[in-house]
Amino acid sequence: EAQVTQNPRYLITVTGKKLTVTCSQNMNHEYMSWYRQDPGLGLRQIYYSMNVEVTDKGDVPEGYKVSRKEKRNFPLILESPSPNQTSLYFCASSLSKLTSGGNEQFFGPGTRLTVL
Amino acid sequence: AQKVTQAQTEISVVEKEDVTLDCVYETRDTTYYLFWYKQPPSGELVFLIRRNSFDEQNEISGRYSWNFQKSTSSFNFTITASQVVDSAVYFCALRDPWQAAGNKLTFGGGTRVLVKP
């Protein structure tokens, strides 16, 4: 089954304790990205990756890191989480824009993070 | 820069009423794509429809219909004869394939639809 998986689905942590949210897709997609969802703001892009070893900042990258060592995986790293990073996080993947401009993005199930 | 506005933050209806969700977008490009996603209480994002800027033909799919009007930069969504299962947050999103961020979706703030029995 084609899917994007994220782990963990729920996480409660404390300020300053490093954490990683994993994201994996099995569709051989080149493009992957992370979004955060906050009430009234919709989803905003944090980071994206056009392909392996190619990553770039989205609209709200402060406080986050990513890596893309393999095509299928795109972990989101919070080196020193703060309460303002409490949010619902979504990983997404799609074919690159070079293959189809309007291709659908597939979203993971979401990770609800609470930073105390 | 792209922008998507969903002016309605919450809509409450009684079952079987029709619901129309408004979406207004801004982009300087002539080629772009518009999407609607549904987020039920369980939290996942469910893709509903995609439209490209060259296709202004409106569509009906079951109880769902979409009204794309390029002249007013609007992409509205209607649920006919709403059901309790339609209760969710609905997001409108815009994608400009020429932007540097590639496949980035710019989302509106979402409209929460509550359908009461």
CB contact under 8 A, B33 and A41: no
DSSP letter at A13? E
CB contact under 8 A, B101 and A112: no
For residue B58, the model assigns a pLDDT of 78
> Are B111 and B11 spatial neighbours (Cβ–Cβ below 8 Å)?
yes
Residue whose C-alpha is closest to residue B37's, from B78, B93, B86, B117: B93
For residue B59, the model assigns a pLDDT of 79
A47 vs B95, which has greater pLDDT? Answer: A47
For residue A98, the model assigns a pLDDT of 53
Span A61-108, pLDDT tens digits? 999 999 999 999 999 999 999 999 999 999 999 887 654 555 678 999
For residue A84, the model assigns a pLDDT of 97
Q: Which residues of A touch B99 (CB under 8 A)?
A: none
Low pLDDT (below 50) residues in chain B? none
Q: How many CB atoms lie within 10 A of CB A18?
A: 10
B117 touches chain A (CB under 8 A): no
Alpha helices in chain A (DSSP H): none
A98 touches chain B (CB under 8 A): no
Specify the residue for token string 């084609």: A2
For residue A74, the model assigns a pLDDT of 98
Q: Which residues of A touch B104 (CB under 8 A)?
A: 33, 45, 48, 58
Residue B89 corresponds to which tokens in the numbers above?
Answer: 């947050």
DSSP letter at B102? T
**Does residue A2 surpass a pLDDT of 90?**
no
For residue B104, the model assigns a pLDDT of 85
